[in-house]
Structure 1
Amino acid sequence: MNKNREIKIKTFGIFDFVNGAFMCLVIAVTAYPVLYVLFASISDPADFASHKGLLFYPLGFSLEPYKLVMKHPLIMRSYLNTIIILVLGTATNMLFTSVGAYVLSRKNLKFMAPIMIMIAFTMFFTGGIIPNYILVNNMLKMGNSYTALIIPGAISTYNLIVMRTYFQGLPDSLEESAKVDGATDFTVLFRIILPVSAPIIAVMILFYGVGHWNSWFPAMLYIREREMFPLQLIMREILLQNSSDSMVGTITDTSIKADISESIKYSVIVIATLPIVTIYPFLQKYFVQGIMVGSLKG
């Protein structure tokens, strides 16, 4: 009896050690690229340019790349554009997704199966880039406007299904008692269902918000005026098209210009990532609860 217990304790200890070591490795592999970008952005440009290999700490200290980025004529404007798209887009997403999820979660909805098949069909088959461009730009006349970045993606099929599943898990008595008092479906949704659905709402806001913040391809297709570019599209230009050279035009020394141009790229990445990293901890406590409850049933 004691021998079997000792074997179990020993086995459990080995599992804990291996599991802990593996998780530490995963954390290191995940965190190192983030730390590398951060350290590179605040390192002295000359020291960083001459450094080869891994980077575990800042090489000197300099905020000059950040100062040059902030002087870029379109950085702050693109920040404002992204915030506008984020706020309007996420609000639109939440309105349409919550209404659609509520309707699809009702047990008395007719033709439920065919409707869900048509909705799920869009997850696997789409019209493609060219038909979408013709639809949005030529037929709907949304070209060169923020509506082209918001309306076509107003509902994510995956998020709709997750939110619908969460609503299905709520007690039927919530709706029944409200209907007895004469409440309409809109009253039930906005005054009863949504107030008790904080976890799934936080998850949906996080999903949609991160999607809008990181999106650049639709803007590249539909937005023609550079003053309307979102932050990610400006960052793409800096990273891929070497437009960082325009930020260091006043520097005459070519070696210094090359060094600081490289540091500017990392600084832009930090500036673009910082808001999402800052907001995530406030929503993280809802994340696991919302996504698990919204994906287990049905």
Structure 2
Amino acid sequence: MANNISRANRIKRSPGDAFVQVLLYVFVALFAIATVIPFLYVLAGSFATEQELTEKSFFLFPTVFSTNAYSYIVKDGSIFRGLANSLLVTAVGTFINMFMSTTLAYPLARSDFRWRNGITNMVIVTMLFGGGMVPSYILVVNILHLRNTYWALWLPGAISAFNMIIIKNYFQGLPKELEEASHIDGASDLTIFLKVVLPLSKPVLASVGLFYAVGHWNSYFNSLLYIDNVNMKVVQQVLREVMQQAQQAETDELMDWGSNGAPPSKAVRMASTVVATVPILCVYPFIQKFFTQGVMVGAVKG
């Protein structure tokens, strides 16, 4: 009986609808393949030899498997120090970003906050106008004296106006009855924020947190400006120096690279890309289920 009801309620699709659906599946599959292939090529090239990279313009599987590029990257251990520094910068920086963004977004999302419109307009202005690189450098180095400290990477970008507005819009979409009921039960604003609002906002917090984390992990220019201590350089700086030295390594006759020869600079660049990309890619699967929902809801509500 249940099977008969389900068949009766099943929507019958015309041949045209089925054809369009097949086309959509084919398009999505082709788009996914086109997106993945460049990463596969970079990964394959990082394990290739100089001869193969020179002779072949494109391949997905190296003929001769070589780890010389990775051996060159890790030979002095600086890459591991850079990875540790980047993990520290990303973890602490993301925490600061999320703390600043959520604590500003919550009062601006409250309809009973008197100055919410004025402060929101001030935040929006920062998205349109900026002081520029030179004033920022003078502020960080000469006034705040943050050179060769990670605070130079954290404080100037402690909050993103765009991400804060996304969180604010999400907060505005939460049921007001939950806050009113919590107030009736005697909960303070801080308790409501920590135990009601934040637990219900996991999708947008995960999405915005990923934005902040990727930004810190890929941060290169600010660290180049403010960090010149060898022990404090992040992985992007270390990889840049590795790639610059790779061209000289090809002519280094004192280094024994085995039967495959010295790693070409192109293979080192590809290996550097893999090393810099894989750690942050490992984070995405854990928050994938929150990502689309958090961005879309936070962008359209309010």
Whether TM exceeds 0.5 here: the answer is: yes
1:295 to 1:181, Cα distance in 2 relative to 1, 3 A? same
Counterpart selection for 1:233 from 237, 250, 267: 237
CA distance in 1, matches of 2:132, 2:107: 28
Match of 1:210 in 2: 214
* C-alpha deviation, 1:143, in angstroms: 1.4
2:129 aligned partner: 125
The answer to whether the 8 A contact 2:246-2:264 is kept is no
Equivalent residue number for residue 33 of structure 2: 28
Deviation at 1:49, TM superposition (A): 3.0
Distance 2:37 2:173 in 1: 39
Is 2:258 aligned against 1:267? no
Task: Identify which of 109, 112, 117 aligns with 2:113.
Answer: 109
Report SS of the residue matched to 1:122: helix
**Identity percentage of aligned residues:** 38
Aligned pair count? 288
TM-score (norm 1): 0.89
TM-score, reference length from structure 2: 0.88
Moved runs in structure 1, 4+ residues, more than 6 A? none
Letter in 2 for 1:164: K
5+ residue gaps, structure 2, are: 1-12
C-alpha deviation, 1:191, in angstroms: 1.7
Which shows bigger deviation, 20-29 or 266-275? 20-29
- What is the CA deviation profile of residues 247-282 of structure 1, one whole-angstrom value per residue up to 9, with x for unaligned ones? 9854268x9665444322211211111111111111
CA contact (8 A) 2:246 2:268 kept: no
Residue number in structure 1 paired with 2:149: 145
Aligned amino acid, residue 42 of structure 1:
F
Matches within 5 A, 1:1-298: 9-43=14-48, 45-239=49-243, 241-243=244-246, 245=248, 249=252, 250-251=254-255, 259-298=263-302
Change (3 A) 1:247 1:224: farther
Query: What are the superposed Cα offsets for residues 49-108 of structure 1, whole Å, 9 maximum, x if unpaired?
Result: 333222122222122322222223421111111011011101111111111111111111
Contact 2:66 2:260 survives alignment (8 Å): no
Unmatched 5+ stretches in structure 1: 1-7
What is the RMSD computed on CA atoms of the aligned residues? 2.2
CA distance in 2 between partners of 1:256 and 1:49 (Å): 12
Structure 1 residues 69, 259: closer, same or farther in 2, change over 3 A? closer
Q: Secondary structure at the match of 2:193?
A: helix
Which residue of structure 2 lines up, in the alignment, with residue 4 of structure 1?
none
